[in-house]
Amino acid sequence: MNQLLARRKTCEGVTDYIAQAREGVLDAPMRQHYHFMPEVGWMNDPNGLIWFRGRYHLFFQYNPFDAFWGMMHWGHAVSDDLMHWEYLPPALIPDQPCDDHPKGGCFSGSAIEHDGKLYLVYTGTTNEGDGFKQTQCVAWSEDGVRFEKYAGNPVLTAPAGYDPANFRDPRVFAHDGVFYMVVGAKKSERAQALLYRSEDLLQWEFVNVLAESRGELGYMWECPDFFPLGDEGLYVLMFSPMGLGERKTVYLVGEMDFKTGRFSHHISGETDWGFDCYAPQSFLDGKGRRLLIGWANAWDWMPWWKDWGPTYKEGWCGAMTLPREVVMLPDHTLAFRPVQEVESLRDLPLVDGCDLLLKGGEARAVGCGAAAELDFTLDLAHTRASAVLLRLRVGNGRAVEVAFDLANAELRADRNNADGWSRGTCRAPLPMKGRETMEVRVFLDMDSIEIFADGGRVCQSLNVFAPAEQDGIEIEARGGEASVRDLRLWSLRRSIH
């Protein structure tokens, strides 16, 4: 047993275990068709997203030995198109004193290229008998596949007065030839993002409190992301707040002063209004796009939480959202749009440009799809209905009901009768003023639904664990006529196993 445990502390041992354990998992019924997921075991936050040497690299929080959270590794995959991924050996194994603990390990972080090498900066979590301690650590790679940890880890510890068990998720970036690190921290039961700088990624000095909660933004910010966006020199600070109930990922838009190390914001918004989009991380790709991927789940302090879903019965758990492009709009709010590459998965359309005029109370079946894309335009200028209802994954007397409540300017997704497992109704405000049309895109996969309305201003992501044969799609008008234009439906090809 000791030899087996020792082997699991090596990359080769973990890789061999995965190769054996994935047999019978990769073709399990609940596996997603085109959303990224682990080969086997548990997955949560995306880490280290980067465009490196002409390929997309996705690292992720990973427990290969169980379908539940535990001793965190960094899984690793690469892609040429964001849709088809090649699994690589785990990049980080918990094997240093600062990151080797059954309830700790190599927690979340980010990646950056420097001198032709790929550097990973991550949180090491351990417990030496006096409580959990989180510190920031560094590893690097010459080829982007095999990583060496810095022998001097950790490179950064929590400052005096801060909770050492809540000092994590470093976000590293470069500005004017200097490296900066943003770290989520907790002090006096309030959240802060701390800013550090370095010349070499190994020696760090404190700059300032980049931004902080005065109580209105929770007691801890997980997975902070910080990046410039748009043509006006503005920056975005994004984080997943603890202690804010239904708010899972918040973004702030404002101005950054690198002389003082302070960020001041004037816009606040939601990255996703659904149940299941947490800890998103962004990066610049080779086309100059700011892309974002999130974990398609959320932690158990959320009020709607039931459990992680039944995929653990198949030996795996966890998936990512679709990659999304982040766009700054003229009013400085953000839109999040599915990347264009997803269109490459479309089969011949099942419905091609259909226009519908629905009478009040009339429901229309529009097709079937458990792994599909549905696009349409709500013609608000010619709609008198109080609401337009979209029913997804219909069958067996069950469905997910998505309501475009035009009377109350609200989007609701209700999964209480979805699958006998999922629970909850999520809500989002619909921007209606001055709009004559509203574009809607819906992506369905075996375990998930993602809704994008109004060009990505409003996003809702939710997990649903319905059987494959429960795949009907219906649309209905309530309280008057509704005009739906250019409705299109495609089945989407499998790209991930």
Cβ atoms within 10 Å, residue 68 = 11
pTM for this model (two decimals): 0.97
Tokens 């989180």 found at: 134
Residues 319, 301: Cα–Cα separation, whole Å: 19
User: DSSP letter at 454?
Assistant: G
2-338 and 351-491 in the same fold: no
What percent of the residues of the chain are helix, what percent strand, and what percent coil, each to the nearest 5? 5, 50, 40
349-365 burial string, b = 16+ CB within 10 Å, else e? ebbeebebebeeeeeee
Q: Are strands 290-295 and 410-414 parallel, antiparallel or unpaired?
A: unpaired
CATH class, domain 2-338, is mainly beta
Look up residue 493 and give its DSSP letter.
Answer: -
Q: Which CATH superfamily is domain 351-491 in?
A: Exo-inulinase; domain 1 (2.60.120.560)
How far is Cα of residue 64 from the mean position of the Cα atoms in its chain? Answer: 20
Tens of each residue's pLDDT in the chain, 497 residues: 455 556 677 888 999 999 999 998 988 999 999 999 999 999 999 999 999 999 999 999 999 999 999 999 999 999 999 999 999 999 999 999 999 999 999 999 999 999 999 999 999 999 988 899 999 999 999 999 999 999 999 999 999 999 999 999 999 999 999 999 999 999 999 999 999 999 999 999 999 999 999 888 999 999 999 999 999 999 999 999 998 888 889 999 999 999 999 999 999 999 999 999 999 999 999 999 999 999 999 887 666 666 788 999 999 999 999 999 999 999 999 999 999 999 999 999 999 999 999 999 999 999 999 999 999 999 999 999 999 999 999 999 999 999 999 999 999 999 999 999 999 999 999 999 989 999 999 999 999 999 999 999 999 999 999 999 999 999 999 999 999 999 999 999 999 98
Sheet arrangement for strand 132-141: 105-114, 117-127, 132-141, 148-149
Q: Judge contact between 109 and 120, C-beta under 8 A.
A: yes
Q: Where are the domains of the chain?
A: 2-338, 351-491
- Other CB atoms within 10 A of residue 7 CB: 13
Classify residue 14 by its DSSP letter. H
CA distance 417 to 284: 39
- What is the gyration radius of the CA atoms in the chain, in angstroms? 23
Burial class (CB in 10 A: 0-12, 13-18, 19+), 404: buried
As a whole number of angstroms, the distance between CA 301 and CA 318 comes to 18
- Residues known to be catalytic: 45
Q: What stretches of 196-312 show up as alpha helix (H) in DSSP?
A: none
Please tell me the distance from the alpha carbon of residue 473 to that of residue 489, in angstroms, as a whole number. 10
